[in-house]
């Protein structure tokens, strides 16, 4: 078991590195989807699993490229599938029956009825990814088939993500859609008192400010502060197992420190792990804005920028997916991703289709935490270190 645990830790380290590379590319002011003007939320875990499922149907250089992008140099498709299986069983099990977070995760393979999936691909998809396979008619009823995918995602995400496939995204040339969806709803271990929520100034990156509702508390918090960064950990209520989900707010000291912080996380994937607060401290002033983010983007250009060219090209080898001569001509035309994250006094609802020593003094000096300017956030499971959602808030008032 120790070897399996070590393998899992290594896989998670690679998944976190992939997550932070994506986050950095997505949050760069130059990126058309994210960039400076928008709040961003995405699920690196959801994208990682979707691409791992593509790897199950890939062969040759395409499979190798997916494996090394997702699992690091020397990574294998088998390693990806074993990791996905552990994630589905360990991290993504629903905990709501025992008072923990409600987690719903699903994979779906929608294939044109003219094709049949290869048994080896179907076995991996169903056995390890717990995927549902569905026959649809892309050739003559593409819009209807897209509707089936959309309503499946809507169901898994409890209605939060309604249209993962936008109109026109599939047509009569589409042969397969691999979909996955992740829903997370957790209550804070210590809820905020809504009567203490007050409007205050939130400073934007362009120097202007807006009035936003801030939650407040005088209870001790998991906080660690450094020269130019403060990290807050907000644990979610636990269920009947060992998992502990938490949200981390990474607040740069500088009002415009968001981009350099995102770059730092990308350059040092273990950065978060090294800055996790481990002790509760007395807080002075505490202000955290409520926010709601709905964010969607098409990820293929971003993934190509991270070195994943083959699956999207005419050289793609996806011959392991279907039993048909048509399998020679398959490639990935697009990867759609949508996420929704809401933070309020009760906890977090999120959906989507990763160590300082603080010594206690006898009279602790209260630490202030005033998130009144742009910050990063991560929702992760702490026992394994798996990052479920990553994002940033540049303006809490921006409509979801």
Task: From 400, 340, 396, select the one nearest 214 (Cα to Cα).
Answer: 396
Residues 82-122: tens digit of each pLDDT: 998 888 888 888 888 888 888 888 888 888 888 888 999 89
Q: Any idea which fold 2-186+293-341 has?
A: Antithrombin; Chain I, domain 2 (3.30.497)
For 64-76, what is each residue's pLDDT tens digit? Answer: 999 988 888 888 9
In the chain, where are the structural domains located? 2-186+293-341, 189-291+354-393
Q: Which CATH superfamily is domain 189-291+354-393 in?
A: Alpha-1-antitrypsin, domain 1 (2.30.39.10)
Residue pair 122/322 in contact by the 8 Å Cβ criterion: no
Compute the distance between CA of residue 138 and CA of residue 116 in angstroms, rounded to an integer: 14
Q: Report residue 398's pLDDT band, with 50, 70 and 90 as the boundaries.
A: confident
Pick the more confident residue, 293 or 33: 293
Give the number of other Cβ atoms within 10 Å of residue 68's Cβ: 16
The pLDDT, as a whole number, for residue 168 is 85
> What's the pTM?
0.88
Per the CB < 8 A criterion, the answer to whether 353 and 153 are in contact is yes
User: Do 89 and 386 meet the contact criterion of CB atoms below 8 Å apart?
Assistant: no
Q: Three-state SS for 391?
A: strand
């Amino acid at each position: 078991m120790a070897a399996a645990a070590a393998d899992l830790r290594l896989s998670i380290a690679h998944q976190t590195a992939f997550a932070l590379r994506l986050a950095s590319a997505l949050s760069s002011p130059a990126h058309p989807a994210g960039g400076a003007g928008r709040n961003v939320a995405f699920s690196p875990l959801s994208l990682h699993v979707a691409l791992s499922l593509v790897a199950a149907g890939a062969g040759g250089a395409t499979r190798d490229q997916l494996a090394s992008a997702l699992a690091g140099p020397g990574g294998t498709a088998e390693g990806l599938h074993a990791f996905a299986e552990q994630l589905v069983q360990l991290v993504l099990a629903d905990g709501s029956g025992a008072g923990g977070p409600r987690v719903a995760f699903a994979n779906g393979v929608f294939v044109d009825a003219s094709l049949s999936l290869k048994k080896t691909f179907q076995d991996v998809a169903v056995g390890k990814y717990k995927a549902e396979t569905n026959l649809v008619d892309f050739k003559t009823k593409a819009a209807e088939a897209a509707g089936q995918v959309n309503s499946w995602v809507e169901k898994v995400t409890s209605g939060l993500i309604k249209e993962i496939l936008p109109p026109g995204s599939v047509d009569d040339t589409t042969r397969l859609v691999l979909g996955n969806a992740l829903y997370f709803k957790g209550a804070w271990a210590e809820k905020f008192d809504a009567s203490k929520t007050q409007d205050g100034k939130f400073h934007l990156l362009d120097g202007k400010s807006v009035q936003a509702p801030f939650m407040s508390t005088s209870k001790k918090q998991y906080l660690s502060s450094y020269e130019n960064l403060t990290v807050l950990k907000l644990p979610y209520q636990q269920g009947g197992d060992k998992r502990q989900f938490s949200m981390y707010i990474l607040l740069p000291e500088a009002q415009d420190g968001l981009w350099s912080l995102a770059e730092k996380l990308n350059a040092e994937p273990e950065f978060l792990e090294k800055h996790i607060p481990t002790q509760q401290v007395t807080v002075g002033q505490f202000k955290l804005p409520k926010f709601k983010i709905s964010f969607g983007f098409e990820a293929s250009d971003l993934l190509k920028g991270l070195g994943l060219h083959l699956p999207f090209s005419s050289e793609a080898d996806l011959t392991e997916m279907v039993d048909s001569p048509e399998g020679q001509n398959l490639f990935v035309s697009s990867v759609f991703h949508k996420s929704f994250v809401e933070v309020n006094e009760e906890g977090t609802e999120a959906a989507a289709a990763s160590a300082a020593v603080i010594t206690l003094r006898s009279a602790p000096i209260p630490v202030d935490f005033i998130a009144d300017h742009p910050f990063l956030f991560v929702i992760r499971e702490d026992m394994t270190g798996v990052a479920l959602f990553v994002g940033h808030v540049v303006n809490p008032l921006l409509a979801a």
